Amino acid sequence: MVLLVKPESVDNGFSLDMALRTEPLELEYISAMLKEAGIPCYLYEVAVDPCSFDELLKKYHPKAVAVTGYITQENRIKDYAQQTKAFDPGILTLVGGPHAQRNAERFYEPYIDFICRSDNIYAILDVLSQKPFENIDGLCYHTCEGWQENPLRAFDMNRLPIPDRSHMERYLFSYRYLDVHPVALLKTSSSCPHHCSFCYGRLLNLGRYYQRDLSLVIKEIQEISSPNIQIVDDDFLYDEKRLWQFVSLIRSHQIHKTFICYGRADFITAHPELMKALADIGLKYVMIGLEAVSNRQLDSYAKGTSLDMNCCCIRLLRDLSIHPVGLFIVDIRFRRKDFRNLRRFIRSLELAYTGVSIFTPIPGTALYRQYEKRLLTKDPEKWDFMHLVVPPVHLSLFGFYLEYFLLVMELFRLAQKKGIYRFLHLNDYKHIFRKLLFHEGLHRT
Ligand code: SF4
C-alpha cells in the first residue's frame, strides 16, 4: 500500500482556497500508474478527507508515503514525511511536485528518503521495485557521501496514463474555479514554449514543451463526469492546427462541456475565427497574463505582447461571450499612480474577472537568484503572491499594502456588481487584507 498525500493549504488567514480548489491531478496520474502495476494506494487529500493522517497510517501501515505540494506547502510536506518516520522509520518517504522538482536541496532532510525531480512518474515505480537508484530518472537519494542527484531526462507526457479519477468523483462538489463548480482538471501539454522572464512553469521538465496526443485527450475527457473542465496547460492556445483538430474532435464526439483555459493575448487576437470555433464548443473562460498596463513594463517582463493587443484581446473574447480573466502583476516598482493606472485600466474595460499577484521571485528561477540578497523573508508560506517577499522600491511596506488592499477591494466590488463571486463574502476579504496590512505592512516598518 502506498499513501499519496496532497497537504492542506497553508492556513495563515490569507488563503483564498475557497475560490480555487482543484482536484489532485498529479496524484491521480500516480494512482492510475500504481493500480496498473498492481500496487494498492490511497489518495489522501487533507482538505476533503474526513480522516486524520495518523488514522490512515495506523489503518494502512503503508510501504511508502509520497507527498506533493507547492512552495507554500513546503513545511507541510516535511511535516508529513517526519510524522511518517516517527510512526515507522521503515516506511519509505518520497517527495515530489513542482516546488521539489526545482528546489530538491530544500528537502535534504534525514526523514526524507527520495526526492523525485522529474515529471516522469515512473521513477516512483522504479523506487518501489528497488531498481538501482543510480539509474532512476532525476532521483535524489542518500548515499554514504551525502545526497546524490541523478541527471534529469525530459519526459514525454504521452507516457502518462489516463488519471484515476475515483477520488475526484467522491469529492466532485469540493472542486471549483471561481464561480464554476464542480470542475475537473485536464492537462494536454507540459511546460511552455514561451520565455517570460518571471515564469516558473516554463522551467519545468527541462523547459521541454510536449503536447499530449489528442486521441488520449479526448478519451480522457469522455471519462470525466464533471460538466466543467479547466485545462491547466500553461498555454493551451498555442498550436493553431492542433486547436482546430481539438474543435473538430469535440464536435465529432458530441462532447458538451464548459472549458476554461490559459491563453496569450497575441495568439487570441491573431486567431479570431479559431476563438469563435472554440467558443462554440464550450470555451467560456480564458485566463490571460495581461501582466501590466504599460508597454514599458510588458517589455521588461519579455512578455512579447502590447497594451493595444491586450485591449483588443479582451474585446474580442467578450464579443464571443468568453469571459476574459485578466491576470496582472503588482510590481514592486509601483508608485501610487501605477496602482491608480491599474485600477483605471480594469475599470475602463469593465474587467470583472481579475487576479492581481504581487511580484514574487520564485526559488529555482534566475529571478530568485537576482533578488536573493534582498529578501524580506525566507518563510515559504509567504510565497503566495499576496505577500511582499522583496521590499517595494518607491513605497513603504505599509503604503504598498494599503494600495494593494484598495485595489483588491475595488476589484472585488466590481466583480460583485457584475453578479459574480457571490460565494465570497466582503467581510472575509476585508479580514484577510486587514491582516495583511497591519501584520505585514507594519511589521517591518
Ligand atoms: S506564456 Fe505564460 S506560462 Fe508561458 S512563459 Fe509566459 S507566463 Fe509562463
User: Where is the domain boundary, 149, 182, 208?
Assistant: 149
**194 CB within 6 A, ligand 1:** yes
Which tens digit of pLDDT belongs to each residue from 260-311? 999 999 999 999 999 999 999 999 999 999 999 999 988 888 888 999 999 9
Within a domain: residue 165?
Answer: no
User: What is the pLDDT averaged over residues 327-348?
Assistant: 94
Q: Contact, 69 vs 115, CB < 8 A?
A: no
Residue 17 has a pLDDT of 55
Predicted pLDDT of residue 12: 53
Say if residue 114 is in the same domain as residue 184. Answer: no
Is residue 154 assigned to a domain?
no
Residue 13 inside a domain? The answer is: yes
Grid coordinates standing for 259?
472549458
Residue from 192, 198, 205, 209 whose mutation best tests the ligand 1 pocket (most atoms within 8 A of CB): 192
CA 212 centroid distance within chain: 19
**Domain match, 132 and 212 both:** no
The residue assigned the cell 499612480 is 337
Residue 64 is classified by DSSP as E
Nearest residue to 78 via CA among 28, 112, 115: 112
Same domain, 126 and 210: no
- Asked if residue 161 belongs to a domain, the reply is no
Give the H or E element holding residue 102: helix 98-102
Domain final residue, candidates 115, 149, 183: 149
247: pLDDT confidence band, cut at 50, 70 and 90?
A: very high
Closest ligand 1 atom number to CA of residue 198: 7
If asked whether residues 114 and 190 sit together in one domain, one would say no
Q: Quick one: pLDDT at residue 300? A: 86
Distance separating alpha carbons of residues 112 and 117, to the nearest angstrom:
14
* Domain boundary, last residue among 134, 149, 164: 149
Pick the range with the lowest mean pLDDT from 97-111, 194-208, 320-334, 358-372: 194-208
C-alpha of residue 191 to centroid of ligand 1, in Å? 9
pLDDT tens, residue by residue, 16-32: 556 788 999 999 999 99
pLDDT score, position 328: 95
The response to whether residue 403 sits with its C-beta less than 6 Å from ligand 1 reads no
Query: Residues 342, 388: one domain?
Result: yes
Domain span including residue 58:
2-149
Average pLDDT over residues 338-347: 94
Taking residues 36-55, report their average pLDDT. 96
Task: Please check whether residue 166 lies inside any domain of the structure.
Answer: no
Cα(125) to centroid(ligand 1), Å: 31
How far is ligand 1, taken at its centre, from the CA of residue 400, in Å? 26
The pLDDT value recorded for residue 201 is: 78
Q: Which atom of ligand 1 is nearest to the CA of 264?
A: 1
Q: Tell me, what's the pLDDT at 18?
A: 62
* pLDDT above 70: percentage of residues in the chain: 95
Amino acid occupying residue 235 = D
Q: In terms of domains, do 180 and 80 share one?
A: no
Give me the chain's average pLDDT, please: 92
In terms of domains, do 201 and 335 share one? yes
Put simply, whether the predicted model's pTM sits higher than 0.85 gets the answer yes
How many angstroms does the Cα of residue 289 sit away from the middle of ligand 1? Answer: 8
Over 90: is that where the pLDDT of 439 sits? no
User: Domain check: are 320 and 272 in the same one?
Assistant: yes
Query: Based on the structure, what is the number of domains in the chain?
Result: 2
Do 140 and 185 belong together in one domain? no
CATH number at residue 43: 3.40.50.280
199 lines ligand 1 (CB under 6 A): yes
Distance 56 CA to ligand 1 centre (A): 39
Does residue 84 sit in the same domain as residue 215? no
Among 135-144, 300-309, 325-334, the range scoring the smallest mean pLDDT is 300-309
Instruction: Give the position, in ligand 1's atom list, of the atom nearest the Cα of 200.
Output: 8
Does any domain span residue 169?
A: no
Answer whether residue 234 shows pLDDT above 50: yes
Confirm whether 382 is domain-assigned. yes
Summarize the confidence of residues 126-142 as an average pLDDT.
Answer: 95
pLDDT band at 445 (very low <50, low <70, confident <90, very high): very low
Q: Which atom of ligand 1 is nearest to the CA of 202?
A: 5
Instruction: Tell me, using a 6 A CB cutoff, whether residue 196 lines ligand 1.
Output: yes
Give the distance (Å) from ligand 1 centre to CA of residue 194: 6
Residue 26 half-sphere exposure toward CB, CA atoms < 13 A: 21
Question: Among 196, 261, 268, which is best to mutate for testing ligand 1, by the most ligand atoms less than 8 A from CB?
Answer: 196
Q: Is the pLDDT of residue 313 over 60?
A: yes
332 CB less than 6 Å from ligand 1?
no
Per the domain annotation, does 157 fall within a domain? no
| CATH code, domain with 394 | 3.20.20.70
Do 405 and 439 fall within a single domain? Answer: yes
Q: What is the mean pLDDT of residues 66-86?
A: 97
> Is the beta carbon of 237 within 6 A of some atom in ligand 1?
no
Q: Could you tell me if the CB of 264 is within 6 A of ligand 1?
A: yes
For the chain, the distance separating the N- and C-terminal CA atoms, rounded to the nearest angstrom, is 51
Report the separation in Å between the CA atom of 403 and the middle of ligand 1, taken as the mean of its atom positions. 27
| Nearest 10 degrees: Cα torsion 53, 55, 59, 64 | 20
The DSSP line for 188-219 is -EES-S---TT-SGGGGGGG--EE--HHHHHH
- What confidence tier does 14 reach under pLDDT thresholds 50, 70, 90? very low
Residue nearest to atom 3 of ligand 1 (CA): 234
Residue 320 has pLDDT above 90, yes or no: yes
Beta carbon of 178 within 6 Å of any ligand 1 atom? no
* Furthest CA-CA distance within the chain: 63
Q: Are 86 and 180 contained in the same domain? A: no
In this model, does residue 61 exceed pLDDT 80? yes
CA 263–ligand 1 middle distance (angstroms): 9
Q: How buried is 46 (Cβ within 10 angstroms: 0-12 exposed, 13-18 middle, 19+ buried)?
A: middle
CA 201 to ligand 1 centroid distance, Å? 7
Residue 92: pLDDT above 80?
yes
Q: Where are the beta strands (DSSP E) in 276-358?
A: 283-291, 323-330, 353-358
**Residue 163 Cβ contacting ligand 1 at under 6 Å:** no
165 lines ligand 1 (CB under 6 A): no
